[in-house]
């Protein structure tokens, strides 16, 4: 059965554009342009996921999310304006599953939707600690979160906790370019007060332990944006 997605977004052009793309991908879509109606639909409508804009008439997106979370753990991806860092932090604090900054590439939104839905269906059916699929892969590289273990072609790679978390985040978001801010937020936390180049420093550590040792180009730099692990087989 197709996943049903609710779009709560008052900018009709954006909502329509997302709707067409989602229908093309085989999802069922309902859209709505104000917070209050959106909240009612989300609470009662048997959706698999909600795309929630923050700047909305009626109730704003953060308020919709706060109220929704009292009764529902339905996955929510926030649509935020560029540089609205406080919104992102507040949104994640209030239980958003992910966010995407406008303007975005539709492919990135689709990837995030797939990821959130997959994560959610795993969480529903299989506890992570004994999930045989808990292994993340890219080519010959494997990472097991439950065993806290990274291997390349079977040989183990010793990583520190932070290095492991960074690699884990990149692998979970495989094929998605991750900005430094985003990596910083996921791995060090949004309240991290140190230097933002800590991300670059740890990327260097990872490369010296993986790329340089095994002669591969696992972690790619996207100039001016951040980093990505690409799986050429996907
Ligand atoms: Ca808006």
Do 9 and 121 have their domain in common? yes
CA 31 to ligand 1 center in whole angstroms: 13
- The answer to whether the pTM exceeds 0.85 is no
CA 110 to ligand 1 center in whole angstroms: 19
3-class secondary-structure state, position 216: coil
Which helix (H) or strand (E) is 8 found in, with range? strand 4-8
pLDDT on residue 234: 62
Of 91, 125, 159, the position where a domain reaches its end is: 125
CA 57 to ligand 1 center in whole angstroms: 8
173-198 residue pLDDT tens: 999 999 998 898 888 876 677 776 88
Residue 8 lies in a domain: yes
The percent of residues above 90 in pLDDT, for the chain, comes to 53
The mean pLDDT of 115-142, rounded to a whole number, is: 71
Q: What mean pLDDT, rounded, does the chain reach?
A: 87
3-class secondary-structure state, position 57: coil
- pLDDT-derived band at 226, boundaries 50, 70, 90: very high
Range of the domain at 12: 4-125
Do 115 and 146 have their domain in common? no
Using a CB cutoff of 8 Å and minimum separation of 24, what contacts does 10-19 make? 10/34, 10/53, 10/55, 10/56, 10/57, 11/53, 14/53, 14/79, 14/102, 17/106, 18/51, 18/106, 18/109
3-class secondary-structure state, position 99: strand
């Amino acid at each position: 059965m197709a996943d049903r997605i609710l779009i709560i977004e008052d900018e009709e052009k954006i909502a329509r554009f997302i709707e067409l793309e989602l229908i093309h991908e085989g999802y069922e879509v309902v859209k709505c342009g104000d917070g209050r109606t959106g909240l009612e639909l989300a609470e009662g409508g048997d959706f698999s996921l909600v795309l929630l804009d923050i700047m909305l008439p009626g109730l704003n997106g953060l308020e919709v999310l706060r109220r929704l979370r009292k009764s529902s753990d339905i996955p929510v991806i926030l649509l935020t304006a560029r540089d609205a860092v406080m919104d992102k932090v507040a949104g994640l604090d209030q239980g958003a599953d992910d966010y995407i900054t406008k303007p975005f590439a539709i492919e990135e939104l689709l990837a995030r939707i797939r990821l959130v839905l997959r994560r959610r269906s795993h969480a529903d059916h299989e506890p992570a600690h004994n999930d045989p699929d808990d292994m993340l892969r890219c080519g010959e590289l494997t990472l097991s979160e439950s065993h806290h273990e990274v291997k390349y072609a079977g040989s183990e790679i010793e990583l520190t906790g932070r290095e492991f978390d960074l690699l884990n985040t990149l692998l979970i978001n495989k094929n998605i370019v991750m900005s430094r801010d985003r990596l910083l937020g996921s791995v060090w936390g949004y309240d991290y007060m140190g230097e933002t180049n800590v991300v670059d420093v740890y990327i260097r550590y990872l490369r010296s332990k993986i790329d340089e040792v095994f002669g591969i180009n696992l972690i790619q730099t996207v100039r001016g944006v951040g980093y990505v692990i690409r799986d050429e087989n996907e």
